[in-house]
Amino acid sequence: MSGAILPGDQVAGNLTLRPDVCVVGSGPGGAMVASRLARAGLSVVVLEEGGYFTKDAFDMQESTAYPRLYQDRGNRATADLSISVLQGRAVGGGSVVNWTTSFRTPDHVVKHWQQKEGGAIGPKDLTPHFEEIESRLGINQVELDDVNANNRTLYDGCKKLGWQVDTIKRNVRGCLKSGYCGMGCPVGAKQSAALTYLPDAVAAGANLYANCRVQELEVKGDRVVAAIGVILDPLTQQPTGKLVRVEARATVVSGGALNSPALLLRSGLTQGPVGRFTWLHPVVAVSAAYRDRIEGFYGAPQSVASHQFAQRTEGAGFFMEAAPVHPMLSGIALGGFGARLRGNMRGLAHVATTIALMIDGFDESESGGTVTLRPDGGPKLDYPQDERHHETFRAGMKAMARLQLANGALEVDTLHTRSLRITKESDLAQIDSEPLGPNRCAVFTAHQMGGCRMGADPKRSVVDPHLRHHSVHNLWVIDGSVFPTSLGVNPMESIYGVSSWGAAQLLAALKSS
């Protein structure tokens, strides 16, 4: 029998539910788990804090999309605001607003997890999962002809310098290339979890409660007794006073990095390094001005990536991609204020934006970010920057400035508070001398990973190699928060892949119990 997706205003009063499995979160992790378990015949309830939106609700306005579809109404950041955190929050999670870039987990990353943390996943184990996912989500390579001018500057600049660069794969069917992936696909072309694995789960009987914020897990001894959710008003996102209590045989936390560790902390589950070793692929960007129009607000936002500098010996690796150039995000990111900001904004249609994503978590010296709790119970993220970050940020900015100048950009602006203006090779030295540190240069993250690390050693990890909590035996964490490191590629497909593998582990455990 088919289940349903129920927004908060369709919940009449307090509810108590007793399914086989309760899944907290409906992004790529939770949607995948719900789909696999429901299809295996288990009764599944999914609780999702975000709202349920279909394509008609996506109006392509940043002022609507960010408050509605992102964590903390688009305002999520580290506690000191030094890193802006773009993280989705909706039925379908980040897959509703991400830029569709799809990569399998690199083999060397999976091997690193095996060697360092005693991971149970081998590179080959994920292959059948990725094959199924790529088929279900329409993941295909972008044709060079479909690359917009913004991404094309990255492609051509790398080619001119002899650097590695290629088009990427995207999870779309019938893409209009309108450019609004980040605000929810207005034509339903993006194959988000809300259009794929969640409908699969619902068709197999799962029930999904939207606008339901899980406050805590009620734990007795080594068991989760119940997940306690508060129903939010879909319009105001404020609590209505109605509660949903889900007493399941097994509970799966799939809130994603930051939210999953925060839920464990709210529930008093402080075993292991919960909240620690959070990885962000910290992003620095440059904006390059061209004589011709680039119109980086239109076209597939990401279609090209360069991994030329992914394996560096002088510091952390980084990879380079493009970012869409919409007015609000640009206004937030661009350096300076007043006439400088206005001048740069006035030329927005002539700007290409390139980003360098630092591959964090692979050096013993790194501790990454730490999630603790804010006074309101939400995740408080701290992510200190050290010399390793600064070296990588500088190398990234210089590489991006070089490729943009090689491609004929009139000028490259950095996003330092005092924006540097690079017009020739000799200007690059400015990047080395300009101070870095919190709020001295704009830093972003669109990729949150870790915080509930998987591993064999309960002192070093939160869940075991099969994603079961080390001390609470009917609790699993299945999402990007279990990654022991970052990935060096955009994480969506890895989260689906590891979650598909994890769902199989969970299913096996439930069958044997």
Q: Name residues contacting another protein, limited to 379-418 (CB under 8 A).
A: 382, 384, 407-408, 410-411, 417-418
Q: How many residues bind another protein (CB under 8 A)?
A: 94
**Cα angle for residues 431, 436, 440 (degrees, 5° grid):** 110
Site map 137..166 versus another protein, x via CB under 8 A = --------xxxxx--xx--x----------
Least distance between another protein and beta carbon 343 (Å): 4
Least distance in Å: CB of 434 to another protein?
A: 8
Piece of the chain touching another protein by CB under 8 A; list 32-40, 93-101, 230-238, 464-472:
230-238
Helix, coil or strand: residue 83: strand
Rule CB under 8 A: choose which of 132, 327, 387, 429 binds another protein. Answer: 327
Please give the Cα distance from 459 to 474 (Å, whole number): 19
Residue 241 interacting with another protein (CB under 8 A)? no
Nearer to another protein, 4 or 187 (CB): 187
Task: In whole angstroms, give the CA distance from residue 91 to residue 27.
Answer: 7
Which is closer to another protein, CB of 108 or CB of 424?
Answer: 424
Closest separation in Å from C-beta 331 to another protein: 4
Q: Which of residues 330-369 bind another protein (CB under 8 A)?
A: 330-332, 334-350, 352
- Whose Cβ is closer to another protein: residue 52's or residue 113's? 52
Nearest residue to 476 (alpha-carbon basis) of 486, 464, 491: 464
CA 323/CA 165 separation, integer angstroms: 16
Within 10 Å of residue 120's Cβ, how many Cβ atoms? 17
CB of 236 to another protein, least distance (A): 7
Find residue 431's DSSP bridge partners. Answer: none
User: Per-residue string for binding with another protein, 5-34, x by CB under 8 A?
Assistant: ------------------------------
**Is residue 43 at the binding interface for another protein, with CB under 8 A as the rule?**
no
Q: Which of 75, 73, 74, 68 is nearest to 91 (CA)?
A: 68
- CA 212 to CA 228: how far, in whole Å? 9
Number of H helices, E strands in the chain: 12, 26
Residue 9 or 20 with smaller CB distance to another protein? 9
In total, the chain counts a number of residues equal to: 513
Applying CB under 8 A, which of residues 40, 57, 60, 203 lies at the interface with another protein? 60
Of positions 289, 304, 310, 475, contacts another protein by CB under 8 A: 289
Of residues 24 and 175, the one with the C-beta less far from another protein: 175
344 or 474: whose CB is closer to another protein? 344
**CA contacts within 13 A on the Cβ side of 133:** 30
Pick between residue 329 and residue 357 the one whose CB is nearest to another protein: 329
Contact between 225 and another protein (CB under 8 A)? no
**Signed CA dihedral, 496, 497, 498, 504: sign only:** positive
Cβ neighbours for 28, distance < 8 A, ≥ 6 positions apart: 93, 94, 95, 193, 197, 479, 480, 492, 495, 496, 499
Residues 432-461 that bind another protein (CB under 8 A): 434, 437-440
Q: Which residue has the tokens 């279990």?
A: 482
Half-sphere exposure of 494 (CA within 13 A, CB side): 26
Query: Which of 99, 298, 319, 393 is in the footprint of another protein by CB under 8 A?
Result: 298
Structure tokens at 1: 């029998």
User: Is residue 239 a contact point for another protein (CB under 8 A)?
Assistant: no
Query: Nearest-5° angle of CA 231, CA 98, CA 140?
Result: 130
| C-alpha span between 375 and 385 (Å, rounded) | 24
Instruction: By CB under 8 A, name the one of 16, 41, 132, 173 that touches another protein.
Output: 173
CB burial string 179-206: b at 16+ within 10 A, e below:
bbbbbbbbebbbbbbbbbbbbbbbebbb
Query: Residues 73 to 92: which contact another protein by CB under 8 A?
Result: 73, 79-82, 84
Judged on CB neighbours under 10 Å (0-12, 13-18, 19+), 212 is buried
**Least distance CB 421 / another protein (angstroms):** 6
Q: Closest CB to another protein among 271 and 367?
A: 367
CB of 73 to another protein, least distance (A): 7
Taking the alpha carbons at both ends of the chain, their separation in whole angstroms is 25
Q: Which listed residue (419, 485, 486, 500) binds another protein by CB under 8 A?
A: 419
Q: How far is the CB of 100 from another protein (least distance, A)?
A: 15
- Considering only the stretches 18-26, 100-108, 121-129, 287-295, report the one whose residues sit in contact with another protein under the rule CB under 8 A: 287-295
Q: Which of 3, 184, 282, 299 lies at the binding interface for another protein (CB under 8 A)? A: 299
